[in-house]
Chain A
Amino acid sequence: MGLTITEKILRDHCQNKKAIAGDFIMADIDKCLANDITAPIAIDVFKKVTEDSKAEVFDSSRIILIPDHFTPNKDVASAAQCKILRDFATRHNITNYFEVGRGGIEHCLVPEQGLVKPGDVFIGADSHTCTYGALGAFATGVGSTDLGVAMALGKCWLKIPESIKFIYSGGLNEWVSGKDLILYTIGEIGVDGATYKAMEFTGDSIKSLPIEDRFTMCNMAIEAGGKSGIIEPDTITRSYLDSVKISNDSFYSSDKDAEYCDIIDFECANIEPQIALPHSPDNVKSISEVHGMKIELDQVVIGSCTNGRLTDLRNAAKILKNRKINKKLRCIIIPGTQNIYLKAMERGYIESFVNAGAIVSTPTCGPCLGGHMGVLAEGEKALSTTNRNFQGRMGHVNSEVFLSSPAVAAASAIKGYITSPENL
């Protein structure tokens, strides 16, 4: 019996050279990551684990610390959390610490900085670490204790997951993006449809899908309960890797006779832009249905680790250029990293946003988790390009969040209600 890409990568990162799905392994990790919410506890764990042995961090160049959630520091308490990261990074000579102003949202920043490559085992104390599967790496979210231990040992316990193969066929309809494919998928299988499983995205539609859309799809694997999302690297991956100056990678692929616990086929011709309605990412409907509901909005957010990349901003700018944000709502646009911000400026996107009446924020996770920079009041409705619309996610427990692609979000910001770019 053959192996999946996930089994192969994990087998090559542990001592058990016969390990297959279902086996527990102690995996050697290539990189580990934490942010201002998860690192303080991880650092505490690291100190406890090493207090007797006085061990140092396993490799100061393979630990990545990114303060991005409550930054720029929203208050004294969050400033104290960020200071813990900064002090730890200085003390242990952690070169991949990204200060505010020189970094951005972790899952936009890590690939851009060339810190993840195909074939890696990458763990992050953030659930959306699964984003990097888009490059053919095994990447998964873990907790702070896992991360603290990993910083000491360079290892993490894992159960090799079974895989579900998703096959997408045919060309995408106009205005349909990776975001719509993944929302559609989650709508079909449910928020626990892939619990403990690796979601392997395949098919001719994926073969021609741009890398940024692939990041978006893998980013939301966790919203179906997935342990990871993964796409076999190909020529599109290669050209992205060239752009971030990575050459020492390993392209793994699944064997033809690999074992899957399920195989699910989707015809892309049937998929229009998708909206997730409150309060769950699997409460998904097509835009034509939601358009008819005339859902009026108080806020639109375009950005996040899901949709804060340059293509996302380009898609929004195409729509917002020479138009005006509806006077009844606020539109907040957040470039994912400082580099994306600069490129968006060079290409005139930022000017289009500001002229339209949107606010452009420094890179931050802020509003996605109701942290800051766009928190909702009681009863307010937001359309957001983020990844989760749990009750109270973006603010008051009685506020509502709808999820969409950047193109639909931009069109809706102009109209004032949820609609398709087709209706402009």
Chain B
Amino acid sequence: MIGKVIKYNLKNINTDLIIPARYLINSDKNFLAQHCMEDLDREFIKKVSEYNYSILVANSNFGCGSSREQAPLALKASGIKCIIAPSFARIFFRNSINIGLQIVELSNIDDIKIGDVLEIDLKIGIINNTTSLHHYTVKKQPVFLQEIISDGGLVNYTKKRLI
């Protein structure tokens, strides 16, 4: 995939910041997207659509806190296709895989700037920063997780094996 970066260089961006609990009374993903990240950045959804950002870069322990799948769902519905961080909280990690939202663990994000265009190829474990012309090597995902993502998420993965 190829996409433009929006970056928040903060550690521990938690699920309450990604989607505050006050909006969990409605599971509609487009409703959730309208409020995504608003307690961190009121302009988030506007910026993502105006500047066509699709890769979210953040610092370590992204998605800590609640098990709410509404967090990755809201990000995905807002237009984010991939999240890059040095580490992820584990429930957020599995929720993202399960809904087919790509997430990438990259230990050093300092070099990536807002607006950079990244070309990501996880099959070979390489990210090309086409703006700075730098390359980053990332850990390959275990085959099991790759299968879930390539099926488009756990629902399709399971359906295939149920029939």
Interface membership of chain A positions 137-173, coded 1 if the CB is closer than 8 angstroms to chain B and 0 otherwise: 0000111111011001100010000000000000000
Which A-chain residue is minimally distant from B95 (CB atoms)?
A143
Instruction: Identify which of B27, B89, B95, B158 contacts A49 (C-beta below 8 A).
Output: B158
A52 touches B12 (CB 8 A): no
B158 touches A152 (CB 8 A): yes
Which A-chain residue is minimally distant from B60 (CB atoms)?
A192
Say whether, besides A37-B68, A48-B155, A149-B158, A127 and B25 are in contact (CB < 8 Å).
no
Which residues of B sit under 8 angstroms from A192, Cβ to Cβ?
A: 12, 60-61, 64, 87, 89
B65 touches A280 (CB 8 A): no
For residue B137, CB closer than 8 A to chain A, the reply is no
Say whether, besides A24-B142, A52-B159, A195-B90, A144 and B69 are in contact (CB < 8 Å).
yes
Which residues of B sit under 8 angstroms from A45, Cβ to Cβ?
A: 154-155
Residues in A175-197 with C-beta less than 8 Å from chain B: 191-192, 195-196
For residue A70, CB closer than 8 A to chain B, the reply is yes
Which residues of B sit under 8 angstroms from A195, Cβ to Cβ?
A: 61, 87, 89-90
Count A-B contacts at CB 8 Å. 138
A143 touches B94 (CB 8 A): yes
Residues in B47-74 with C-beta less than 8 Å from chain A: 60-61, 64-70, 73
A392 touches B155 (CB 8 A): no
Interface membership of chain A positions 182-220, coded 1 if the CB is closer than 8 angstroms to chain B and 0 otherwise: 000000000110011000000000000000000000000
For residue B6, CB closer than 8 A to chain A, the reply is no
Interface size range on A against B: 35 or more
Which residues of A sit under 8 angstroms from B148, Cβ to Cβ?
A: 157
Residues in A28-70 with C-beta less than 8 Å from chain B: 37-38, 40-41, 44-45, 48-50, 52-53, 55, 69-70
- CA–CA, A381 and B91, complex, Å: 29
Which A-chain residue is minimally distant from B90 (CB atoms)?
A196
Interface size range on B against A: 35 or more
Which residues of B sit under 8 angstroms from A384, Cβ to Cβ?
A: none
Which residues of A sit under 8 angstroms from B99, Cβ to Cβ?
A: 145
Which residues of B sit under 8 angstroms from A391, Cβ to Cβ?
A: 16-17, 39
For residue A345, CB closer than 8 A to chain B, the reply is no
Which A-chain residue is minimally distant from B153 (CB atoms)?
A145
Which residues of A sit under 8 angstroms from B67, Cβ to Cβ?
A: 38, 124-127, 129, 141-143
Distance (whole angstroms) from the CB of A388 to the closest CB of chain B: 6
Interface membership of chain B positions 145-163, coded 1 if the CB is closer than 8 angstroms to chain A and 0 otherwise: 0001000011100110011
- CA–CA, A129 and B73, complex, Å: 21
Which residues of B sit under 8 angstroms from A174, Cβ to Cβ?
A: none
Which residues of B sit under 8 angstroms from A149, Cβ to Cβ?
A: 154-155, 158
For residue A420, CB closer than 8 A to chain B, the reply is no
A127 touches B91 (CB 8 A): yes
Which residues of A sit under 8 angstroms from B61, Cβ to Cβ?
A: 191-192, 195, 225
For residue A390, CB closer than 8 A to chain B, the reply is yes
Interface membership of chain A positions 259-281, coded 1 if the CB is closer than 8 angstroms to chain B and 0 otherwise: 00000000000000000000010
For residue B114, CB closer than 8 A to chain A, the reply is no
Which residues of A sit under 8 angstroms from B95, Cβ to Cβ?
A: 143-146
Distance (whole angstroms) from the CB of A231 to the closest CB of chain B: 20
Which A-chain residue is minimally distant from B92 (CB atoms)?
A143
A141 touches B162 (CB 8 A): no
Instruction: Identify which of B39, B153, B155 contacts A397 (C-beta below 8 A).
Output: B39
- CA–CA, A144 and B91, complex, Å: 10
Residues in B1-32 with C-beta less than 8 Å from chain A: 12, 14, 16-17, 20-22, 24-27
Chain B interface (Cβ within 8 Å of chain A)?
A: 12, 14, 16-17, 20-22, 24-27, 39, 60-61, 64-70, 73, 87, 89-91, 94-95, 98-99, 142, 144, 148, 153-155, 158-159, 162-163
**9 tightest A-B CB contacts, nearest first:** A143-B95, A145-B98, A77-B25, A192-B61, A143-B69, A369-B21, A127-B67, A144-B69, A141-B67
